[in-house]
Structure 1
């Protein structure tokens, strides 16, 4: 029997009545851009997050780029400090805004951006800090808030893997004006295409991002600023509105599977578990292993899918050569990139399948 790394079918089946009803509404209204489905989803998503506003965008990358543009961080002499262990789209959003990207190393236990190492990389050119809530685990936002304040820099959050997460019991928007989300299909809250949003408590940010995302227009044909074309479309909102009421339940399912993996792999030779805290929403279950590619082949031979998030740290991508970081400059991220392995994790994954995955890993490392 095959165990895929991700399986969207059970979630689609569990919500079919809801998304079909939303699609019927959409085709009745026949407004496919900036319509009622988006307006309703933005209200519902903001409420679920505990924020005042949510502004839909075309992707998580666009959500980052639009946030930086609204914050005025658009010049090459303005640097955005972030983690090298993330999807390249974090960096693409920074470059898309016109800013420069800089990296600090990670905490080897959590794989999150290390606040102390970030503090050591801050310069007079640092215009923003952009911690990434990797694998669904929030970064220590209290520390990053202080760092940003002391540096006179903007704090933005990449929460593209952290739908529903809070930090120390507070909404993520309590810590900064811009929290970017992605609705890529495999996210905790995903659509069936590309999509994104920015959550904020600021009415000024809300108004500004709505202007930016629609070409600088206000429901007319006059571009007041050089905006973008980055709108979350109505059809994707039909799915998102159907999935959103299930988010808490689905996150709880992920947490149970993650806890099961912890119990089964905690003392496994060759496996290093990541340190997590209770506020994680477990977007991915990632372990660190030696001989990763051989282990992946062993698992694949047993019909078990896996992933590597992420096999090349961003400072070693040609696209980010301008960061100034070279091989060896960020050793923890480089080491982690060689070792990270993502195990199957999705809502409705049967516990027996997680047990089989763990047993197969243990058999690989058995003497």
Structure 2
């Protein structure tokens, strides 16, 4: 049996008629950039997340970068973040001229450990850029309390967390801004790159509207340096169709995750869900001290897996000038050695999942 990590072709088979209709409407309209499809999607996602504004941009990386630039963060500033995430989170900090300051993660949730946050804040700290990793919201109550006491804004990297919630509030509605990615593999993914920034801050939203359009609010009048970072109408059309099934597909992921956990507990370390969270399982990541052996065994069985993330950011070559070395962030480093993501997507069948579970038990020597 072959078990793919994702089934984007299968998703298209289900939604293809509606997607083709929406795309053809765009093609016939002659409006391809900053048009009605994009505006409607922004309104729908603002209402869904629970913020006043939702602004489409070209990708999730730009969402992060534009937010930092709109906050005026630059050379000499520090931004606190996690070393256990996709490279873009720290990349955008360095791209502004600021310094990424890493804080280790909670071993259960893989999110930034709030107990280590206060000690990392200095007079140069201009923001906390946290990540809702794998689709579970970070401990926002503790993080926001510490950040507010130090007058430091919180930015949510919610690129993996569209639809996740904490105490009834959606990811992207807690900090001064939430940043999302519509990369095709995301729970809400397009047919190319795309991103979104959510915020309740009118001034920040106004700045981002200009920054995403070459620093311009009026044609050929540029008041600042910006980017060409706009969500195009074709992607908005695709996303508007897929948004209609987002909650149902997230619920399917939760059901699959619960089933994995029920059958794999005691065999490998299964993901923990913290109280008051609604996890959307962008990834279902287990831990095993024999991770590489297990991954090879699953591959031989035709089961696709992924490793997120094999090299923590503080050990990436490009960040060597920061002076970090192995051992500086031990929880992140341990996770990087042990973590393995299993197939989880809305079209995964129980037969396929049983095959994955049995293969893991077989690798661990468990025949029960």
1:126 matched to 2:125? The reply is yes
1:303-347 per-residue CA deviation (whole Å, 9 max, x = no partner) reads 000000000000000122233322111011011100000000111
Alignment of 1:271-350 (within 5 A): 271-277=268-274, 278-350=277-349
Q: 1:98: how far off?
A: 2.4
Aligned partners of 2:253 and 2:346 also within 8 Å: yes
SS at match of 2:33: coil
Distance 1:216 1:297 in 2: 49
For 1:272 and 1:328, locate their aligned partners in 2 and report how far apart those are by CA, in whole Å. Answer: 22
- Inter-partner Cα distance in structure 2 for 1:328 and 1:217: 46
1:142 and 1:175 in contact (8 A); partners too: no
Could you say which residue in structure 2 is the equivalent of 1:60? 60
Task: Give secondary structure in 2 for the equivalent of 1:272.
Answer: coil
Displacement after TM superposition at 1:253 (Å) = 0.5
- CA 1:227–1:316 in structure 2 vs 1: closer, same or farther (change >3 Å)? same
For 1:46, the equivalent position in structure 2 comes to: 46
Q: How does 1:90-129 map to 2 (within 5 A)?
A: 90-129=89-128
Structure 1 residue 80 corresponds to structure 2 residue 76: no
The verdict on how the C-alpha distance between 1:101 and 1:163 changes in structure 2, with shifts beyond 3 A counting, is same
Runs (4+) of structure 1 exceeding 4 A deviation are: none
Asked if the contact 1:64/1:90 (under 8 Å) is kept, the reply is yes
Could you tell me how far 1:172 is from its partner in structure 2? 3.5
Check the 8 A contact 2:49/2:173 in 1, yes or no: no
CA–CA distance in structure 1, aligned partners of residues 313 and 172 of structure 2 = 26
2:250: which partner in 1? 251
In structure 2, the partner of 1:23 is 23
Which segment drifts farther, 297-306 or 214-223?
Answer: 214-223
What do residues 249-298 of structure 1 show as CA deviations (whole Å, max 9, x unaligned)? 01000000000000010121xx1122113411111000111121111111
- Give, in angstroms, the shift of residue 173 of structure 1: 4.5
Query: What is aligned with 2:145?
Result: 146
For 1:294 and 1:151, how far apart are their aligned partners in 2?
45
Q: Cα 1:323–1:118, aligned 2, differ >3 Å: closer, same or farther?
A: farther
Query: Deviation string for 1:35-90 (max 9, x for gaps)?
Result: 12211111111122122211011111110010011111122x11111111100011
Conserved 8 A contact 1:131-1:157 = yes
The CA distance in 2 between the partners of 1:81 and 1:58, in whole Å, is: 24
Determine the C-alpha separation between the residues in 1 that align with 2:197 and 2:171: 11
Aligned positions, number: 364
CA shift for structure 1 position 11: 1.8
- Deviations along 1:202-260, one digit per CA (max 9) or x if unpaired, are 22222111110000112511111111111111111111011001100010000000000
- 1-structure distance, mates of 2:220, 2:33: 15
Q: Within 2, Cα distance between the matches of 1:323 and 1:134?
A: 24
Provide closer, same or farther for how the CA distance between residues 20 and 219 of structure 1 changes in structure 2, counting only shifts above 3 A: farther
CA contact (8 A) 1:91 1:320 kept: no
C-alpha spacing 1:218/1:228, structure 2 compared with 1 (3 Å) = same
Flag structure 1 segments of 5+ consecutive residues without an equivalent. Answer: none
- DSSP-derived class of the 2:34 partner: coil
Give matches, 1:173-184, under 5 Å: 173-184=172-183
Does structure 2 conserve the Cα–Cα contact (< 8 Å) formed by 1:307 and 1:341? yes
Show the counterpart of 2:232. Answer: 233
Secondary structure at 2:116 match in 1: helix
* Residue segments in structure 2 that go unaligned for 5+ positions in a row: none
Q: CA RMSD in A?
A: 1.3
2-structure distance, mates of 1:324, 1:151: 26
SS at match of 1:307: coil
Which is worse superposed, 80-89 or 212-221? 212-221
Cα separation, 1, equivalents of 2:314 and 2:333 = 9
TM-score (norm. length: structure 1): 0.96
CA distance in 2, matches of 1:97, 1:65: 8
Question: 1:325 and 1:178 mapped to 2: Cα distance?
Answer: 29
1:172 corresponds to 2:171: yes
More off after superposition, 254-263 vs 97-106: 97-106
